[in-house]
């Protein structure tokens, strides 16, 4: 996220800034913890220099911070690149996101499991937090609607060190045809180590919080995950973003978090050009994207906001880890 946001800020400033004024990026770390996120949000909300926020990354932290950003006499826009829990945009009109929600991610995973993997029976290990429970619910609802059966749904506590008993049950039971990991990268790594040790060969699928797992090499090979953005997306704007990102990182490829942050900065800059730098004006301009103002065509695709601040038509893609990269599953 930081790299993507910095790239956007540098490009905007190099082109003359916004109305002749430079953007300045102030980076804070919420440690993916609700308490820390509230402290960060309070600092940013109360700083009169801050005209908008790009963040937060995780759903739990973003939800905790949302009440702060929406409160007081001068609320401030928080535009998340990656927080996908549907509850994020309920606290008020100053919270937006550029990614799809868990409603879309869970649904896409269920359809992929049924239609592409031909799996009728699924087992789920879910991280017991806002994100894990959110994507579990939408996956399970859609999987059952498509006449699939969930044979096990087991929670993994944050910081857990062993999931072997769950997997021993699955291996002995023998009915599961796909294993869904409803959690973050650390949870998936924990599960995958146990899967490999147990000799389990089930396809493993997960949501966008698994981003980055491709760096784990053989451990993650063959894992499927959803995302609102894949680096292989076509288009000149994305190609230019990939070149800039690679130049800034020594050849790395961005994920949905970096791409989303890049788009978020450009959205905020466009809102300031249209309506000025007052917080309320930025919020009003963003709310009209795709209505009285044109839709935004970013590296993550077309963005239009609904009444909640969500992007209802955001496409969810399924990627596959191959050789240390995430490639479109549809191409395999």
| pLDDT value at residue 158 | 85
| pLDDT value at residue 332 | 55
Q: CA nearest 85: which of 158, 34, 136, 30?
A: 136
Nearest-angstrom CA–CA distance, 94 and 116? 38
| pLDDT value at residue 290 | 96
pTM comes to 0.91
- Would you say the CATH fold of 103-227 matches that of 2-99+232-303? yes
Nearest-angstrom CA–CA distance, 92 and 199? 48
Q: Are 179 and 198 in contact (CB under 8 A)?
A: no
Nearest-angstrom CA–CA distance, 266 and 12? 8
Q: Which residues pair with 181 in a beta bridge?
A: 125, 206
Q: Which residues of the chain have pLDDT under 50?
A: none
Write the pLDDT tens digit of every residue in 42-56. Answer: 999 999 999 999 999
- Give me the count of residues in the chain: 332
| pLDDT value at residue 331 | 59
| pLDDT value at residue 21 | 96
Write the pLDDT tens digit of every residue in 269-291. Answer: 999 999 999 999 999 999 999 99
Residue 33, classified by CB atoms within 10 Å of its CB into exposed (0-12), middle (13-18) or buried (19+), is middle
Write the pLDDT tens digit of every residue in 79-94. Answer: 999 999 999 999 899 9
Q: Are 329 and 205 in contact (CB under 8 A)?
A: no
Kindly indicate whether the domain formed by 2-99+232-303 is annotated with CATH number 3.40.50.2300. yes
Q: What is the largest CA-CA distance in the chain?
A: 66
Return the domain boundaries, the chain: 2-99+232-303, 103-227
Nearest-angstrom CA–CA distance, 101 and 108? 11
Write the pLDDT tens digit of every residue in 184-218. Answer: 999 999 999 999 999 999 999 999 999 999 999 99
Please give the CATH number for the structural domain made up of 103-227.
Answer: 3.40.50.2300
């Amino acid at each position: 996220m930081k790299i993507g946001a910095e790239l956007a800020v540098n490009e905007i400033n190099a082109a003359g800034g916004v109305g002749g004024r430079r953007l300045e990026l102030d980076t804070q770390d919420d440690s993916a913890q609700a308490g820390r996120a509230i402290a960060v949000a309070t600092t940013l909300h109360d700083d009169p220099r801050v005209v908008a926020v790009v963040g937060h990354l995780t759903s739990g932290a973003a939800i905790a911070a949302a009440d702060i950003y929406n409160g007081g006499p001068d609320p401030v826009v928080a535009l998340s690149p990656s927080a996908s829990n549907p509850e994020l945009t309920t606290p008020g009109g100053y919270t937006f996101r550029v990614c799809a929600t868990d409603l879309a991610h869970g649904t896409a995973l269920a359809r992929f499991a049924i239609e592409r993997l031909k799996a009728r029976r699924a087992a789920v290990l879910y991280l017991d937090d806002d994100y894990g429970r959110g994507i579990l619910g939408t996956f399970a609802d859609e999987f059952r609607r498509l006449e699939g059966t969930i044979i096990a749904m087991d929670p993994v506590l944050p910081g857990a060190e062993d999931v072997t008993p769950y997997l021993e049950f699955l291996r002995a039971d023998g009915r599961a045809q796909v294993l869904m990991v409803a959690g973050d990268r650390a949870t998936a790594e924990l599960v995958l180590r146990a899967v490999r040790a147990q000799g389990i060969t089930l396809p493993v699928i997960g949501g966008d919080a698994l981003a980055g797992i491709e760096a784990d090499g053989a451990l993650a090979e063959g894992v499927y995950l959803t995302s609102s953005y894949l680096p292989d997306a076509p288009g000149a704007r994305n190609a230019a973003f990939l070149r800039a990102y690679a130049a800034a990182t020594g050849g790395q490829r961005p994920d949905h978090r970096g791409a989303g942050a890049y788009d978020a900065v450009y959205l905020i800059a466009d809102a300031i050009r249209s309506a000025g730098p007052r917080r309320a004006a930025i919020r009003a301009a963003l709310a009209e994207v795709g209505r009285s103002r044109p839709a935004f065509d970013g590296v993550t695709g077309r963005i239009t906001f609904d009444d909640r601040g969500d992007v209802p038509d955001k496409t969810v893609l399924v990627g596959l880890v191959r050789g240390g990269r995430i490639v479109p599953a549809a191409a395999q």
